Structure 1
Amino acid sequence: METQAAEAARRWLADEGVRQVRDGWVSDAAPEVLLTAGDVAHSRAGDVFAEDLDPADQLRLAFGLLDLLDAYWVTCEIRFANESSEGPLPADVLWDGYRRRLEADGEVEAVTYSLWVDWFEDQATSATAFAEVLGNDIGRIVAEPSDALLRRARLVLECSGPVRWTVKEPAYRTALRLPALHPALFRGLRASFHDVYGDLEPAAALALLDRLDLPADTRHLAGLRHVLAAGHRNHHRSPGAWDAAVRSCS
């Protein structure tokens, strides 16, 4: 079922002369040209922030467009608007929009990719973004887990590699108390080592890794333990360390 936000975005696009057809999208200006959702996002998403609406409603409309198109570019336009001379956007609406979509059933790759490569890789926004989508809530999630909250926690942990270790370690330690989060926490630790901008403290990360309740044959578990025990902080800062670990553990 289409969300109310997506329905509002569909109506807005129709007013702009863009409508969905069986195989994609078309515009009234060139109805013979079939557009992809990405085409629509690139050509229209930025226009949302020129609408005669208050910033909160502009942002809600943009999130509706994201729901409708499932296109990463919509999240780019949201961030551009947040960083523009007229920004920042209302933080409560911004982060509530991310949290809701992380908790919802369905595909959210555009949302997690946005967190990973934009908000988390940028050290100017990483700490705030991580706190808003997980850090501030992890205690409540562990104490009172629900399917929606667990879904959000898993998704954020898995893409949290670039977040500074000092920022994410407290949340990692709290997540450790809930075995249902252990696989996602493992993937977060693995990404913290492998991501180009991944960040961890080897000894502290190893201590967490050794407390995870995971099958002994979990893929890459032995290799990650090996590189952390050797004191390596990042795959790209220690060329060859991972391959050597894999060979020694095979």
Structure 2
Amino acid sequence: MEMRAAEAARRWLAGQGVSQVRDGWVSDAKPDVLLTADQVAHSLAGDVFAEDLDAADRLHLAFGLLDLLDEYWVTCEIRIANDSVEGPLPADVLWDGYRLRLEADRDAEAVTYSLWVDWFEDHTTSATAFAEALGNDIDHVVAERSEALLRRARRVLECSGPVPWPVKEPAYRTAVRLPALHPALFRGLRASFHDLYGDLEPGAALALLDELDLPTDTPHLAELRQVLAAGRRNHHRSPGVWDEAVRSRS
């Protein structure tokens, strides 16, 4: 599906006079000027949502552009379109698109960064975004354990720091049942403490941390346990406590 979406986006770009060459992209207007994928995304991704197509087809085309360019800015234009006067975008297509790319066996940095800074950090969207990305079907993920589902779970857990603790705690507790998710869950707990908008409840987070089957020399494990045991909720609300924990381990 991703390949078909990318090819549709490639055809659309050709219609805008932009084509791919060995080292980047060129436009018909300036064929001697090499463009980066980021430049193409900033120039044209927003235009997808002005096409004479229904909302679902526009969104499919935007995801194809994301597959082709692999640029975070495409996800920004998706979010902008969702929040526009013509939005919201069809939720089933939107979140199917995210889940598919989170499960894909390829780099997903643009998608996970989008989840983290645009959906999870926004308190008006974090609960819905986390539920759609993982929370709604975490039981199925843990039961089926397919590589694709585990890939999605790992990626979402690792960038879930800003999600409110009451929203993500049930999924965290379910993820504990599957050791294959323990490293990602640890990174999620660590991000919940370190992220600027990270959120956790120290006692509950410590209880989860103690259930994880991790090597005792896992970097930052001891420090995280120490700050949680001290009742600290967030690195930025308690300046210096992490450094103190690091010094105490040296």
The TM-score, its normalising length taken from structure 1, stands at 0.99
Alignment of 1:181 onto 2:181? yes
Q: What is the match of residue 8 of structure 1?
A: 8
Cα offsets for 1:71-127 (capped at 9, x unmatched): 000000000000000000000000000000000011110000000000000000000
Residue 55 of structure 2 corresponds to which residue in structure 1?
55
Does 1:195 pair with 2:199? no
Task: Give 1:55's aligned amino acid.
Answer: A
Q: What does residue 150 of structure 1 align with? A: 150
The one-letter code of the counterpart of 1:3 is: M
Encode CA deviations 1:144-185: one digit per residue, 9 max, x unaligned.
110000000000000000000000000000000000000000
2:26 matches 1:26: yes
Q: Which residue of 2 aligns with 1:212?
A: 212
Per-residue deviation, 1:2 = 7.0
Match of residue 238 from structure 2: 238
Residue 155 and residue 2 in structure 1: after superposition, are their counterparts in 2 closer, same or farther (change >3 A)?
Answer: closer
Query: What's the secondary structure of 1:33's corresponding residue?
Result: coil
2:121 partner amino acid: E
Assess if the C-alpha contact under 8 Å between 2:2 and 2:64 holds in 1.
no
Match of 1:87, SS state, is coil
Q: Distance in 2 between matches of 1:137 and 1:156?
A: 12
Residue equivalent to 2:121: 121
Structure 1 CA distance, aligned partners of 2:40 and 2:144?
Answer: 40
State how far apart, in whole Å, the 2-side matches of 1:197 and 1:2 are: 32
> In structure 1, what is the equivalent of residue 97 of structure 2?
97
Measured after TM superposition, the shift of residue 29 of structure 1 is 1.2
Structure 1 unaligned segments of length 5 or more: list them: none
Answer yes or no: is 1:77 the counterpart of 2:77: yes
Identity of aligned residues (%): 82
Whole-angstrom CA distance in 2 between matches of 1:21 and 1:149? 34
2:40 maps to which residue? 40
TM-score, with structure 2 as normaliser: 0.99
Letter in 1 for 2:48: V
Match of 2:75, as an amino acid? Answer: T
Alpha-carbon deviations, 1:181-225, whole Å to 9, x = none? 000000000000000000000000000000100000000000000
Q: How many residues align?
A: 250
Q: Hey, what's the Cα distance between the residues in 2 that align with 1:113 and 1:242? A: 24
Which runs of 4 or more aligned residues in structure 1 lie more than 6 Å from their structure 2 counterparts after TM superposition?
Answer: none
CA RMSD of aligned residues (A): 0.9
Cα distance in structure 1, aligned partners of 2:19 and 2:180: 42
Deviation at 1:136, TM superposition (A): 0.2
